[in-house]
Structure 1
Amino acid sequence: MTETLSPTAARSGAPVPVIDTDPFGRQQLEDPFPLEVALREAGPLVYLSAHDIYAMARYEHVYAGLRDWQSFQSGAGVGLSNFRIRKPWRQLSAVVEADPPQHDAPRRVLADLLGPRAQRRLRTEWTAVAEEMVDGLLAARAGAGVEFDAVSMLAKAYPLRVFPDALGIPEAGRENLLPFSDFLLNAFGPRNDLVAASAPRARELSEWVSAHCEREALAEGGFGAQIWSAADRGEITVQQAPQVVRSLFAAGVNTTVHALAAVLHALATHPEQWQRLRAEPGLARVAFDEAVRWASPVQTFFRTATGDTRVGDAVVPDGAKVLMFLGAANRDPRRWADPDVFDVSRDPSGHLGFGFGIHQCVGQNIARLEAECLLTALAERVAAIEIAGPPRRRLNNTLRSWDSVPVRVWPA
């Protein structure tokens, strides 16, 4: 890293530190923390020469940038590609990659659909599924210590059952949901080997999703059918309806899976925190949010400057891509005491793991409900949990996720 002017900001603001490390390099995806520290310490705004982009990593500035949709737009794409200056090569999200006024109606429909009424309706059903799933794991592997992979058997299995049921898609083909979302989130970064590895299935997966966003593919009464009903009432257009359904395919399962994997890994590696949760099961949502802060399954999102925009004493030039480091902000010692410590007694509210502002995750409370149901079922039935083998990462240009977390539990 050198303290110097970036090529485009030199004429318009204070010197912008330059870092030549590629945030999408394999080493950085495996271990993002050294780069995050360097970014935070370098200043409010940093120029990343590897991709000709700017970056924010301090909590104060990431928070402000996410909130200021007028200066940092999402409509030019929340990935590296700048769709202000090039034709989109992929379908943009009707919610995540749209700004007002185009963003408003789809957002209102989803906020109402996924709001408190739906959560109250789903709580009993999702609690029963969580209890059945945990009981099945413990019964099928009876013994002094029960071993299983927390990712495949819980973090994936539970959301892939309850949310697609609520969405109203058939059981056949649900295995496509995670690969589709994984490819989409990889594609927010550069076209590296991670994108290339999943590219052969991209068209197949996209066609499967598109077919299941149509009215006739969705079960009556599910979230998908209700989105089409909103189109019938004129709340969104008929053209928008499949795009809004598609947004739930893209974000309704994958991020929840990785957030659940993060909290299970955190609790398995912090036995004192597991015991705290067992003593106070009401902390389930707090534990989940603390894991989202601490592990930040969604690491980054891009924005595009709509004009020369000041950040601290520096200026982001009009049209520049800006990478918001959510994970770095969530561990910023300027905002959090002992930020590298996972602690369920902390108040994690205000973390940026679900974004912030008008584009924050509209389904975040659905994810919290899933976590509450699953963690409560576990806390009531499991006396202790520990890592039973080396966890394995799954690399993604946007996500920090686990592919496998072997655990051993002792039934209560």
Structure 2
Amino acid sequence: MLPPKPTTLDARSAAGLVRQWRRAVEPEALAAAYDALAAAGPLVPTPWGALLVTGYEECRQVLTGREWLTLGARWRDAHRPGWRESASTVGLCETPLQQDPPEHTARRRPLNAVLAPRVVREAAERLVEPLTERHVGEFAATVRRDGAADVVARVCRPLPTAVLAEMAGLPEWIDRGWLAAESAAMVRVEELAAPPSVVRRADAAALALLDAYDRALAERLRHPAGDLLSRWAAQDPAGARYLLLTLFSAGVPTTAALLAGTALALTADPALAERIRQEPGFAGPLTDELLRWDPPGRVVTRVTDADTELGGRPVPAGRVVHALIGAAHRDPERFAAPHVFDPDRPAQRLLAFGGGLHYCLGSHLARAQALAFARAFARELPGARAAAPPVRHAGPSMADIARLTIHSPLT
């Protein structure tokens, strides 16, 4: 193992850089924070004892290396007394998102069959495209009628919720709007240093979601309907509640963030929408660049279970690191002119959907929805512009767009 590289970054300077990063919300502000962090070195210490990882190669290593584990139940039992009082944290630790093998392997297996590329291709034709056409068409009609409308509330959150609900066979009595809102609220517990009010809201959402899932599974156990929900209920009703929690709490907020970013790009530069109308295949590279420019999940937290090396520096067992996906996607050693939004840049492997054992199973489904949304939006809302700057949630992990009001010059 190489000796530590010398550094002149003192604790006070490091804390200032970390504070700048945590306060940044918009991609442009984050770019400046990422540059400052990268200039300080590949690993920047935080006031809470973790390390921020900024380089592409170092972040890829954290995502794919078997020595890097989640902050799952075992880790929390050892380091976070009282964590089990948080229903949302307990719920997430029962999902593959916060599990390692062998629990991760067993819990993830049923999802593999549902979200495999072949299944998603079939679902794209059967569900994604028709649902996208309906949601975007209704939104465009609302904009024409009212002059403006919030695309996040009317399309970006309802669309992935509807797609997953149809795929799972969720009963109609579970309100889709409520499901989207509760799923988004629950996952906010993952935000770094989430305030108590956010944790309380997340805990209430987790309890409400699990209760709804339990009732739906019990209903399908009594009256099977030949759908995915019925199959999961028959196989493992106790585990199925967490499969549903994984699908909606992971799938809805991240896909909604990608769709909102797409809408922002198409309204900020109508030439992009015109190009999609002329060249539908352009939606693919545009989506890839959006995932690089503003990934839905900007931070992945891991802990090493053995002494290792990262960025040429030793990292002892037990050290927590935060891999900054947004910073990795702005690494000039990997991406030319990284602060330039360029959908025509050469294809590169991105880290937006993770890597290794925890590579996002829903990546194909999320991308299918983004492509369908971009094409439908470009067709139904030519010349559409944002009526006001987007309103974002506070970051830094999930600074996604909470509201984006769209108007069309054709109204």
Aligned partners of 1:177 and 1:253 also within 8 Å: no
Q: Counterpart in 1 of 2:272?
A: 273
* Alpha-carbon distance between aligned partners in 2 of 1:249 and 1:197, rounded to the nearest angstrom: 22
Q: Counterpart in 1 of 2:402?
A: 403
Distance 1:141 1:264, change over 3 A: closer
- Per-residue deviation at 1:220? 3.5
Q: Counterpart in 2 of 1:352?
A: 351
- My pick for the range that moved more, 12-21 or 394-403, is 12-21
2:44 to 18, 43, 46: 46
Q: Counterpart in 2 of 1:76?
A: 72
* Alpha-carbon distance between aligned partners in 1 of 2:99 and 2:130, rounded to the nearest angstrom: 37
Give CA-to-partner distance per residue, 1:132-180, whole Å, 9 cap, x none. Answer: 233323334437x953222222212322322223233344343343444
Amino acid aligned to 1:124: R
* Alpha-carbon distance between aligned partners in 2 of 1:12 and 1:180, rounded to the nearest angstrom: 48
Give CA-to-partner distance per residue, 1:100-124, whole Å, 9 cap, x none. Answer: 2221232232121112224313423
The answer to whether the aligner puts 1:112 opposite 2:113 as a matched pair is yes
- My pick for the range that moved more, 33-42 or 199-208, is 199-208
Unaligned runs of 5+ in 1: 1-10
Written as runs of structure 1 = structure 2, the 5 A alignment for 1:154-303 is 154-171=155-172, 172-192=174-194, 195-214=195-214, 215-216=217-218, 220-229=225-234, 232=235, 239-303=238-302
Q: Secondary structure at the match of 2:326?
A: helix
- Per-residue deviation at 1:319? 0.5
Q: Secondary structure at the match of 2:79?
A: coil
- Per-residue deviation at 1:61? 0.7
Distance 1:336 1:124, change over 3 A: same
The answer to whether the aligner puts 1:59 opposite 2:61 as a matched pair is no
- Per-residue deviation at 1:131? 1.8
- Per-residue deviation at 1:294? 0.6
Q: Percent identity?
A: 26
- My pick for the range that moved more, 115-124 or 298-307, is 115-124
Q: If the length of structure 2 is used for normalisation, what is the TM-score?
A: 0.84
Q: Counterpart in 2 of 1:133?
A: 135
Which structure has more helix as a fraction of its residues? 2
- Per-residue deviation at 1:345? 2.1
* Alpha-carbon distance between aligned partners in 1 of 2:50 and 2:80, rounded to the nearest angstrom: 16
Written as runs of structure 1 = structure 2, the 5 A alignment for 1:140-155 is 140-142=142-144, 147-155=148-156
Distance 1:201 1:246, change over 3 A: same
* Alpha-carbon distance between aligned partners in 1 of 2:80 and 2:200, rounded to the nearest angstrom: 24
- Per-residue deviation at 1:255? 0.7
- Per-residue deviation at 1:262? 0.9
Distance 1:142 1:263, change over 3 A: closer
Q: Secondary structure at the match of 1:266?
A: helix
Aligned partners of 2:144 and 2:408 also within 8 Å: no
Aligned partners of 1:295 and 1:327 also within 8 Å: yes
Q: Counterpart in 1 of 2:97?
A: 96
* Alpha-carbon distance between aligned partners in 2 of 1:216 and 1:282, rounded to the nearest angstrom: 44
* Alpha-carbon distance between aligned partners in 2 of 1:74 and 1:67, rounded to the nearest angstrom: 12
Q: Secondary structure at the match of 1:248?
A: helix
Q: Secondary structure at the match of 1:304?
A: strand
Aligned partners of 1:167 and 1:223 also within 8 Å: yes
* Alpha-carbon distance between aligned partners in 2 of 1:411 and 1:167, rounded to the nearest angstrom: 38
* Alpha-carbon distance between aligned partners in 2 of 1:347 and 1:83, rounded to the nearest angstrom: 45
Unaligned runs of 5+ in 2: none
- How large is the RMSD of aligned CA atoms in angstroms? 3.0
Distance 1:410 1:112, change over 3 A: farther
Q: Counterpart in 2 of 1:20?
A: 15
Give CA-to-partner distance per residue, 1:260-316, whole Å, 9 cap, x none. Answer: 101111221122322222221122233222212111121101000112211132111
* Alpha-carbon distance between aligned partners in 1 of 2:303 and 2:186, rounded to the nearest angstrom: 19
Q: Secondary structure at the match of 1:333?
A: coil
Q: Secondary structure at the match of 1:398?
A: coil
Aligned partners of 1:95 and 1:247 also within 8 Å: yes
- Per-residue deviation at 1:251? 0.6
- My pick for the range that moved more, 195-204 or 271-280, is 195-204
- Per-residue deviation at 1:221? 4.5
* Alpha-carbon distance between aligned partners in 1 of 2:69 and 2:207, rounded to the nearest angstrom: 28
Q: Secondary structure at the match of 1:336?
A: coil
Q: If the length of structure 1 is used for normalisation, what is the TM-score?
A: 0.84
Number of aligned residue pairs: 390
- My pick for the range that moved more, 257-266 or 173-182, is 173-182
Q: Secondary structure at the match of 1:152?
A: helix
* Alpha-carbon distance between aligned partners in 1 of 2:98 and 2:188, rounded to the nearest angstrom: 16
Q: Secondary structure at the match of 2:345?
A: coil
* Alpha-carbon distance between aligned partners in 2 of 1:85 and 1:55, rounded to the nearest angstrom: 19
- Per-residue deviation at 1:340? 1.9
- My pick for the range that moved more, 359-368 or 265-274, is 265-274
Q: Secondary structure at the match of 1:302?
A: strand
Give CA-to-partner distance per residue, 1:219-278, whole Å, 9 cap, x none. Answer: 84544444345xx2xxxx664332222211211211111111011112211223222222
* Alpha-carbon distance between aligned partners in 2 of 1:65 and 1:221, rounded to the nearest angstrom: 41
Aligned partners of 2:213 and 2:241 also within 8 Å: yes
Amino acid aligned to 2:72: A
* Alpha-carbon distance between aligned partners in 2 of 1:13 and 1:141, rounded to the nearest angstrom: 58
Aligned partners of 2:59 and 2:324 also within 8 Å: yes
Q: Secondary structure at the match of 1:253?
A: helix
